[in-house]
Chains A and B, each alone.
Chain A
Amino acid sequence: MKFLTTNFVRCPISKCDNSLKAFPLQYKNCELIQEELEFNPEFLANILDRLNWEAIIAVAGDLGNDSLPPTKPENVDPKDPENEQLLKDLHTLLIETQITEGEMHCGECGHIYYIKSSIPNFLLPPHLV
């Protein structure tokens, strides 16, 4: 599971639908790998718009990375060399970092979802469907 994907998933149990604590999930006991991919500054600059930055910071913190800027970088021009370091860091974190094993805890209901062999499993057990 790529780091970026954590920005789009929440607890799917219906009673957690409207809870602010069901997103982002809390990531625990995670094993990470880096998967090398070409650097694409335009892509990163363009996705900034749709990212929930607080959630990025929270998940990065769960995984032991506290180096992100506290507020979302705005209007980042991918061609400006000044932005290169920022976009490279984001590339390494969002696109190249994979969670291979780990747990995702819902802050509302406490349910734990597991990541195994890089695949997050959100199928619900019978009593929660």
Chain B
Amino acid sequence: MFATPLYDADFEKLYEPSEDTYVVLDTLEEIRQDLVNWYFPVNTRSTTHSPNKVPICVEIGTGTGIITTFIQKNILGPDRAIYLTTDVNDYACATSIKTNGLNKKKPTDFGMLDTIKCDLVGPLARKCVDLLVFNPPYVPSEEVPDIVKLTQDKKDDDDKINDLLVDLALCGGADGMETTWRLLDNLDSILSDTGMALILFCARNKPEQVVEQFKQKMRLKGVEWKVERVFIRKAGWEELTVWKFVKDW
């Protein structure tokens, strides 16, 4: 068992690590060896699978950043990958860097971690992401709060902004899937050819149906995918699952 990374933040302003966060950490730990083999294959003679020497790992919607720090420390290693976190919440962006520092032995320990405030993967170059991790706002809700409000004048009301940020961490709109669908619809141009995405769903997202629809939509674009459930946890009435997406060549 790897320890949960340390963190320290004001939870009125960002998402506090919760059951879903731990489901992602436990998934990573459980499939650790598969991830290592996928990104750093021992047999490099294979022509079908030759990943980038230094993978780029991107966590969308990083919150405290403990997932990325966990991957860096325990899964892929601090000096074998480039780590980027994103969030629409700049306090989350800043916290993800701070969390990383809190979990180092020395402040100068090597690590290439950076953060970007943006929608989903925002400005990242096409097909540059090798490992994408997303614990999305997945709760079904009437609507997804408008991110655009975050770009308007902030000074008017901090409480309102904090409420908006709390909603943005949770509310997924119809079936809780609106934000995740915006990602899935572009996944082919976000992931590198040897890229992988790990995405969390709750039962009300109807992940089995989503996966079928996703494959069909992608087939129309001429891209085949391998998608599998790699983790499931029932917690009370809630059922959380993590799904792995890779292109099928």
Contact = CB atoms under 8 A, between A and B. Distances in A.
Interface of A: 1-2, 4-5, 8-12, 23, 36-38, 40, 42-43, 46-47, 49-50, 95, 113, 116-126, 129
Contacts of B109: 37-38
B110 A119 contact: no
Contacts of B123: 9-12, 113, 120, 122
Interface of B: 52-54, 56, 79-80, 82, 84, 88, 90, 93-94, 97, 107-112, 114-119, 122-125, 128, 147-148, 150-151
A4 B82 contact: yes
B125 A124 contact: no
A9 B124 contact: yes
A23 B126 CA distance: 11
Contact of B122 (A12, A40, A95): A12
B110 A124 contact: no
B54 A46 contact: yes
A119 B124 contact: no
15 contacts: A5-B114, A9-B123, A36-B107, A38-B109, A43-B80, A43-B110, A49-B52, A50-B52, A117-B94, A120-B123, A121-B118, A122-B117, A123-B151, A126-B151, A129-B148
A123 B165 CA distance: 14
Given A8-B84, A123-B147, 7 more contacts: A9-B122, A36-B107, A47-B82, A49-B53, A120-B117, A122-B123, A125-B151
